[in-house]
């Protein structure tokens, strides 16, 4: 098998149709997620959350987008125009590209229910999820503002700290499944979901996932209390909205990867047509965990973030990989 080889190729028409479908589906989920998150956080804090726009507040995303679109398009004087403008695009692009490899189901009637099935699945995921940080760094640097710059520096440091342990956490699964391809990894979980044998890896992946998506308690790059939204300080209107969209997209993608690697992907009781439903249900329950954690934990201090990443997560992930390697070889 060649590196970068695609296991299963369909006709171009099918590819286009399913890309558009997955794209639209996820983009429709994102606004729903924003309102669900606000409602849920409200409930976690013993209040209602948004309930004024539409019945029960369900039209809140429309109102939000309308507000963002109505904002003046503004750029600070000492910002670098071109980079300032493309940075949000890069972040969204990264989210969409990583979305492509999340399998929503197996090959059915000659159509794979995923964007593409690359045989280098994990590497593809890391390559393009790290791509988002170019966007963040560019945004922070091109804004020409000290808060943005500090936020960007923090996100860079955070990425380096957590990317490593995230990769090692997935390595255990890759060794057990003996493949980098997402579909083969899901198929290898037919007897038992990897969350059981790889529980440590799952925890490490989720904690790194919080850091990767800049979600609380690791939302230091945007720390609204001290950095006034960090790298997004100088962004307004729909450009700010794009960062928000990218954040939810990344949350969806990280949950999707966790579902694929640890929670058995499309595995679940019921007929095969239920497969995508199972994937979405699993992803949404992981997103619930994301929101739950956000409602619970306070933001960690910068040095705590660093020491957790390098002194706890990395050794733990390495140990996990070593033990898995030995067990896989021996058994």
| Residue with smaller CB distance to other proteins, 154 or 294 | 294
Question: According to CB under 8 A, which one of 10, 15, 23, 42 is a site residue for other proteins?
Answer: 42
Q: Per CB under 8 A, does 293 bind other proteins?
A: yes
Shortest Cβ 51–other proteins spacing (Å): 8
Q: In this chain, which stretch among 23-31, 104-112, 233-241, 288-296 interacts with other proteins, using CB under 8 A?
A: 288-296
Place of tokens 């710059």: 149
Cβ 262 to other proteins, closest distance in Å? 19
User: Which residues lie closer than 8 Å to 79 by C-beta, 6 or more apart?
Assistant: 142, 143, 144, 234
Stretch that binds other proteins, among 42-50, 93-101, 180-188, 257-265 (CB under 8 A): 42-50
Segment interacting with other proteins, rule: CB under 8 A, options 5-13, 41-49, 55-63, 67-75: 41-49
Residue 59 CB-density burial (10 A; 0-12 exposed, 13-18 middle, 19+ buried): middle
Q: Which two tokens stand for residue 4?
A: 């970068």
Positions 297 through 326 that interact with other proteins (CB under 8 A) = 297, 312
Which distant-in-sequence residues (6+ apart) come within 8 Å of 211 by Cβ?
Answer: 158, 161, 162, 218, 305, 309
284 binds other proteins (CB under 8 A): no
Among 4, 28, 32, 45, binds other proteins (CB under 8 A): 45
Answer for which of 5, 47, 272, 301 binds other proteins (CB under 8 A) is 47
Least distance CB 160 / other proteins (angstroms): 23
Query: Residue 313, Cα to own-chain centre: how many angstroms?
Result: 19
Q: How far is CA 70 from the centre of its chain?
A: 28
Residue 39 CB, shortest distance to other proteins, in Å, is: 10
Q: At what angle do helices 199-212 and 237-262 cross, to 10 degrees?
A: 170
Interaction between residue 292 and other proteins (CB under 8 A)? yes
Which of 93, 295, 306, 325 contacts other proteins by CB under 8 A? 295
Stretch that binds other proteins, among 3-11, 12-20, 173-181, 291-299 (CB under 8 A): 291-299
Output b/e per residue, 129-150; b: 16+ Cβ within 10 A: bebbbebbbbbbbbbbbebbbb
* SS3 assignment, position 291: helix
Q: Which two tokens stand for residue 14?
A: 């099918």
Residue 43 touches other proteins, criterion: CB under 8 A: yes
In whole angstroms, what is the distance from residue 300 CA to residue 209 CA?
15
Taking the complex as a whole, the smallest distance from the CB of residue 217 to other proteins amounts, in Å, to 9
Q: How far is the CB of 48 from other proteins (least distance, A)?
A: 5
Of the candidates 11, 78, 285, 296, which one interacts with other proteins according to CB under 8 A? 296
C-beta separation of 49 from 295 below 8 A: no
Main-chain dihedrals φ then ψ at residue 269, nearest 5 degrees: -65, 160
In the complex, minimum distance from the CB of residue 62 to other proteins, in angstroms, rounded to a whole number: 22
Cβ-based nearer residue to other proteins, 238 or 289:
289
CA 130, CA 254: separation in Å to the nearest integer? 12
Verify binding: residue 46, other proteins, rule CB under 8 A. Answer: yes
Helices (H), 109-198: 121-142, 146-177, 182-187
CB of 40 to other proteins, least distance (A): 8
Is 82 one of the binding residues for other proteins (CB under 8 A)? no
DSSP per residue over 19-61, as a string? Answer: HHHHHHHHHHHHHHHHHHHHHHHHHHTTS--S-SSSGGGTTHH
Q: Is 285 in the site for other proteins (CB under 8 A)?
A: no
Rule CB under 8 A: which residues touch other proteins?
40, 42-48, 51, 292-293, 295-297, 312
């Amino acid at each position: 098998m060649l590196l970068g080889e695609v296991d299963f190729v369909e006709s171009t028409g099918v590819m286009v149709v399913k890309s558009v479908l997955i794209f639209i589906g996820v983009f429709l989920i994102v606004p729903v997620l924003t309102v669900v998150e606000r409602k849920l956080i409200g409930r976690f804090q013993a209040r209602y959350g948004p309930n004024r726009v539409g019945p029960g507040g369900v039209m809140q995303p429309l109102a939000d987008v309308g507000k963002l679109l109505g904002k003046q398009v503004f750029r600070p004087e000492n910002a670098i125009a071109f980079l300032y403008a493309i940075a949000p695009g890069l972040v969204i692009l990264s989210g969409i590209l990583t979305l492509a490899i999340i399998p929503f189901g197996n090959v059915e009637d000659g159509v794979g229910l995923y964007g593409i099935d690359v045989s280098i699945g994990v590497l593809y995921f890391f390559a393009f999820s790290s791509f988002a940080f170019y966007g963040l760094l560019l945004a922070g640097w091109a804004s020409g503002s000290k808060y943005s710059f500090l936020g960007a520096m923090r996100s860079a440091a955070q990425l380096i700290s957590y990317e490593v342990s995230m990769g090692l956490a997935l390595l255990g699964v890759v060794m057990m499944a003996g493949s980098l391809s997402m579909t083969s990894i899901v198929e290898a979980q037919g007897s038992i979901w990897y969350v059981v044998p790889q529980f440590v890896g799952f925890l490490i992946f989720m904690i790194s996932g919080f850091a990767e998506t800049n979600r609380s308690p690791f939302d230091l790059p945007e720390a609204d209390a001290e950095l006034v939204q960090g790298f997004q300080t100088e962004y307004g209107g729909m450009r700010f909205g794009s960062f928000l969209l990218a954040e939810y997209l990344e949350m969806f993608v990280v949950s999707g990867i966790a579902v694929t690697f640890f929670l058995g992907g499309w595995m679940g009781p019921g007929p095969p047509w239920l497969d995508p439903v199972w994937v979405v249900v699993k992803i949404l329950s992981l997103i619930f965990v994301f929101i739950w954690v956000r409602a619970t934990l306070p933001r960690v201090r910068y040095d705590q973030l660093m020491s957790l990443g390098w002194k706890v997560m990395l050794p733990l992930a390495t140990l996990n990989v070593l033990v898995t390697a030995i067990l896989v070889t021996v058994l």
